[in-house]
Homo-oligomer: A and B are copies of this chain.
Amino acid sequence: MRSRILSVLKAAGSSYISGEAIASELGISRTAVWKHINELRQSGYHIDSHSRSGYRLQDSPDCLLPEEIKIGLDTEIMGREIIYFDDIPSTNNQAKVKARQGAVEGTVIVSEAQSIGKGRLDRSFFSPHGKGIWFSVILRPPFLPQDAPKCTLLAAVAVAAAMRSFGVEAGIKWPNDILCQGRKLTGILTEMSAEMDRINYVVIGIGINVNILQDDFPEELREKAGSMAMVKGELINRPSFFREVLRELDICYREICNRGFGALMDKWRSLSVTLGQEINVIGINESFSGKAIDIDDDGALLVETEGAMRRVLAGDVSIRPKLQ
């Protein structure tokens, strides 16, 4: 209801709209309107009120509150439920708890900050308050656990596509780093719980550096990490961009559930900055160089080395441009 009241206020633009008009449009009492307006104010919305004219939205807070996100969100699955935190240890951990408790597919956990944001392989992920989009989404895909690793390609494709529609020429470095101007803009951590022949749930954690400025980054990240704002030279409206990411995730996910991974793989290829490049593969037990040729049906990277084609599975390697 708060979301619907916000919609009405936003539709009215700079005009006042009476409590009576809002009440009648939404089929609730004027007292209920008054109550919700006060709650919105407590969340940081500046709502002007005038005894004869009614209410007018002056200013929205820069936040990812569900009522803000839901306005104009036209997804079928992603964001069916949005659970919001101001600060949380890790959205992925919270999502796993909710998933075990039976949360519906598409439930989103979003937080303005993470105190112990998690990256792959126990790495930490920098998630400062209000400067990015740190969220996790719960999926319950119908495919076999063997196919779950491709969810990570799904996330990369959706985020890169959303960035491009916001004018940030992002590319995907295999398997799921999002790069622009040589800097990493996004971290993705996909986790799953499964039986051997059925997925219980998949949690895709996505952290997007939206409005972080270079000096905000800790020293050790300053050369490698970037943000959309750094690329664009201006701050990005986080709620709008978040809706775009959810929309892309929704489209890609419904596509793979209905028609398999083919189209996703092709989108991945078209967004890739790895394919065709000379690369170094740095594995746990070995390193080698070669040319990245393609990904196969499992999402493995095919690398042409001297004489042989090698198949690199997710997680075995990191990849970087070959030094000249």
Contacts and interface: CB of A to CB of B under 8 A. Distances in A.
Nearest to A298: B146
A148 B196 CA distance: 7
Contacts of A192: 145, 192-194, 196
Contacts of A191: 193-196, 200
B144 A197 contact: no
Contacts of A298: 146
Given A145-B145, A149-B146, A190 B196 contact: yes
- The A interface, classified by DSSP as helix, strand, loop or mixed, is mixed
A196 B145 contact: no
A316 interface: yes
How many copies of this chain does one complex carry? 2
Interface in A136-163: 144-146, 148-149, 151-152
Nearest to A299: B196
B197 A149 contact: yes
Interface in A93-147: 120-121, 144-146
Contacts of A313: 144, 146, 197
Given A195-B191, A197-B120, A145 B148 contact: yes
A8 B190 CA distance: 51
A222 interface: no
A189 interface: yes
Contacts of A200: 191
Nearest to A97: B100
A193 B198 CA distance: 12
28 contacts: A120-B195, A120-B197, A121-B195, A121-B197, A121-B198, A145-B145, A145-B149, A145-B192, A146-B146, A146-B149, A148-B194, A148-B196, A151-B196, A152-B196, A189-B195, A190-B196, A191-B193, A191-B195, A191-B196, A191-B200, A192-B194, A194-B194, A195-B315, A196-B315, A197-B313, A197-B315, A197-B316, A198-B315
Given A149-B197, A192-B192, 4 more contacts: A144-B313, A144-B315, A146-B298, A149-B196
The 4 closest A-B pairs by CB, nearest first: A197-B315, A149-B196, A197-B314, A190-B196
